[in-house]
Amino acid sequence: MDPRDTAPDSWEQEDDVEATIDGQLESAFTTLNVNAKPFVPNVNAAEFVPAFGLKAHPGNPNVQQGGCSAALWDLLFVSPVENGDAEMTTEEPWDQKEVEPSEEEPGGGVCVDRGPEGPDETAPEMMEEEEEVLVPKVPPTQPDAPKKEHINVVFIGHVDAGKSTIGGQIMYLTGMVDKRTLEKYEREAKEKNRETWYLSWALDTNQEERDKGKTVEVGRAYFETDKKHFTILDAPGHKSFVPNMIGGASQADLAVLVISARKGEFETGFEKGGQTREHAMLAKTAGVKHLIVLVNKMDDPTVNWSLERYEECKEKLVPFLKKVGFNPKKDIHFMPCSGLTGANLKEPTNMCSWYTGLPFIPHLDSLPNFNRSSDGPVRLPIVDKYKDMGTVILGKLESGSISKAQQLVMMPNRHVVEVLSLLSDDVETDDAGPGENLKLRLKGIEEEEILPGFILCNAENLCHSGRTFDAQIVIIEHKSIICPGYNAVLHIHTCIEEVQITALICLVDKKTGEKSKTRPRFVKQDQVCIARLRTAGTICLETFKDFPQMGRFTLRDEGVCAYISIILSV
């Protein structure tokens, strides 16, 4: 029986066992080719072929394996080929791997067949190396990633205007969803007699949303053009889910207001109870500077790409958007399209010869870059959090930059946390700049201790937190008067909190900006006032002058968004 396979009677004997093995090795090494050329590791080599393997190249399975056991052969050649692409991308493990055989003997002394022990010993090493190699599969795409500017686009509008369908169509046109997946969705949708919904299923992923055809959560997807990297935020259009929509709009740089040109649908969306008005107002409050209005469903039989209907929708919308605060000449761009057929989204369509502008995706690409300063204070409002091997938070970095292992402070609780890992749009990276959607894994805080609306800051420059502040409020739609003691729901960045107006300080003249000398007893619709507000709990906020993204808020009452406001002092 082979002495290597049995345990020694006493551990003193183990030296003898090792001595016998060494003796066997010495006899085996005498058969080596001493005159072989010295082995020089080549990092860019296709694969490592030792001297014995030159006779039987792994590419040719019919040739006999030159004097090497089948197990060792498999181990040396088959496993690297399995994940060869991963091994090529990482240089370090290769260096270590090639130095090992060359240390023994210039000719590559590993080829000695050492019975059952050889493969068993090397297998764990190989496994470890494979594990190391598999980790960095995603980052090689990283070097060219920061060149593209990150832009978040939120799709807003009334229920059934076609937001998710347009989002799904864009993902298909830019190659983010393959044809096969869409065909599968189409089949499934047909079974439910909902064949026109299949494109929206690319963004409405859960069963409830698909069954009812309504978006509930804010859907997320990515697509890239030649110059920019876009994140689609597909906001729900239904009245009940406006809080979710506000969370989506607060992360956006650019809003796309989708309206349906179909007879009757545009009117419902735009009247008092419709969501078109409310969403446009919320987008402005959330800090969206540029608005693209997509007049969808132009291919509908009631419309048939008619210029009259397009102009009619435009005429009704412009005065309202102006009232909310958008400049029709600079901030708003109208374009016709069809989400279901994809007309005028990527390529111009011959159906609509009267529209001379760029289609939707090229227009997004041609927009000027956003000015973002990466040297400002770190501000990351938290949108969501969950547990996954630690505490993971999601949010958009509004200013500053974050890197791995950085120490940050969670406001308003003042928890000191450390960044363990950092994902930007699901790709792991070492640092991130403003405007990026991030997932951070944090150390030093439990998931239960975080709420949406908390802010990550750097310790040198914390954000303000408090309960009482003064703000300028514009009352856009409210049926009765407002007096001190009035309660509403406050939406500021990603935070939702109950708030009470404790005092009205003065009225502001809309045209001249003059403030009234006396305190008003009440304010009504279309007036602007400065009021003192008090929230139920402590929230993070900044003045509008210092930090616009965190100094704007909306007040909602009875499910209707009635006021837009900016913070003057905290």
How confident is the model over 175-189, as pLDDT tens digits? Answer: 888 888 888 888 888
Are 180 and 262 in a shared domain? yes
Pick the range with the lowest mean pLDDT from 206-215, 317-326, 506-515.
206-215
Please state the domain count of the chain. 3
Are 352 and 408 in a shared domain? no
Going from the C-alpha of 488 to that of each of 244, 453, 549, the distances in angstroms are 17, 17, 21
Are 289 and 163 in a shared domain? yes
Could you give the 3-state DSSP secondary structure of residue 253? Answer: coil
What does the pLDDT look like over 482-500, one tens digit per residue? 899 989 888 888 888 899 9
Mean pLDDT, all residues of the chain: 75
Kindly tell me the burial class for residue 275, based on how many C-beta atoms sit within 10 Å of its own C-beta (0-12, 13-18, 19 or more).
buried
Confidence at residue 113, expressed as pLDDT on a 0 to 100 scale = 46
CA-wise closest residue to 252 among 269, 236, 230: 230
Looking up residue 176, the CATH number of its domain turns out to be: 3.40.50.300
Confidence at residue 5, expressed as pLDDT on a 0 to 100 scale = 59
Q: Is 301 contained in some domain?
A: yes
Q: Is the pLDDT of residue 318 over 60?
A: yes
Are 448 and 486 in a shared domain? no
Are 446 and 477 in a shared domain? no
Are 201 and 315 in a shared domain? yes
DSSP 372-436: --TTS--EEEEEEEEESSSEEEEEE--BS-EETT-EEEEETTTEEEEEEEEEETTEE-SEE-TT-
How many Å apart are CA 521 and CA 461, to the nearest integer? Answer: 39
Q: What is the DSSP letter of 218?
A: P
How many Å apart are CA 530 and CA 515, to the nearest integer? Answer: 9
Confidence at residue 7, expressed as pLDDT on a 0 to 100 scale = 63
Confidence at residue 163, expressed as pLDDT on a 0 to 100 scale = 81
- Percent of the chain surpassing pLDDT 90: 8
Structural domain of 390 = 379-458
Confidence at residue 40, expressed as pLDDT on a 0 to 100 scale = 72
- Four-CA torsion 346, 351, 356, 362, nearest 10 degrees: 0
Q: Which of 366, 399, 425 finishes a domain? A: 366
Are 359 and 450 in a shared domain? no
Are 350 and 478 in a shared domain? no
What does the pLDDT look like over 394-435, one tens digit per residue? 888 888 889 988 999 998 888 899 999 998 877 888 888 888
- φ/ψ of residue 470, rounded to 5: -105, 140
Q: Is 533 contained in some domain?
A: yes
How many Å apart are CA 249 and CA 396, to the nearest integer? Answer: 11
Whether the Cβ atoms of residue 157 and residue 259 lie closer than 8 Å to each other: yes
Could you give the 3-state DSSP secondary structure of residue 69? Answer: coil
Q: Which of 335, 366, 397 finishes a domain? A: 366
Looking up residue 426, the CATH number of its domain turns out to be: 2.40.30.10
How many Å apart are CA 124 and CA 530, to the nearest integer? Answer: 71
Q: Is 354 contained in some domain?
A: yes
Q: Is 54 contained in some domain?
A: no
- Percent of the chain surpassing pLDDT 70: 73
How many Å apart are CA 495 and CA 493, to the nearest integer? Answer: 6
Q: Look up residue 442 and give its two tokens.
A: 């944090």
Are 388 and 360 in a shared domain? no
Confidence at residue 64, expressed as pLDDT on a 0 to 100 scale = 47
Confidence at residue 131, expressed as pLDDT on a 0 to 100 scale = 39
Q: Is 20 contained in some domain?
A: no
Q: Is 33 contained in some domain?
A: no
Confidence at residue 496, expressed as pLDDT on a 0 to 100 scale = 86
Confidence at residue 29, expressed as pLDDT on a 0 to 100 scale = 57
Q: Is 18 contained in some domain?
A: no
Going from the C-alpha of 373 to that of each of 146, 288, 397, 514, 548, the distances in angstroms are 15, 17, 11, 33, 14
Confidence at residue 105, expressed as pLDDT on a 0 to 100 scale = 44
Are 452 and 476 in a shared domain? no
What does the pLDDT look like over 180-225, one tens digit per residue? 888 888 888 888 877 777 777 777 777 777 777 777 777 778 888 8
Confidence at residue 89, expressed as pLDDT on a 0 to 100 scale = 43
More confident residue, 301 or 99: 301
What does the pLDDT look like over 233-255, one tens digit per residue? 877 777 767 777 777 777 778 88
How many Å apart are CA 455 and CA 460, to the nearest integer? Answer: 14
CA-wise closest residue to 494 among 453, 463, 534: 453
Are 257 and 288 in a shared domain? yes
Are 313 and 330 in a shared domain? yes
Q: How many CA atoms lie within 13 A of 150 on its CB side?
A: 21
Confidence at residue 506, expressed as pLDDT on a 0 to 100 scale = 92
Q: Which of 458, 488, 513 finishes a domain? A: 458
This model's pTM is above 0.85 = no
CA-wise closest residue to 221 among 250, 199, 242, 243: 199
Please report, as a single letter, which amino acid is at residue 283: A
Q: Is 19 contained in some domain?
A: no
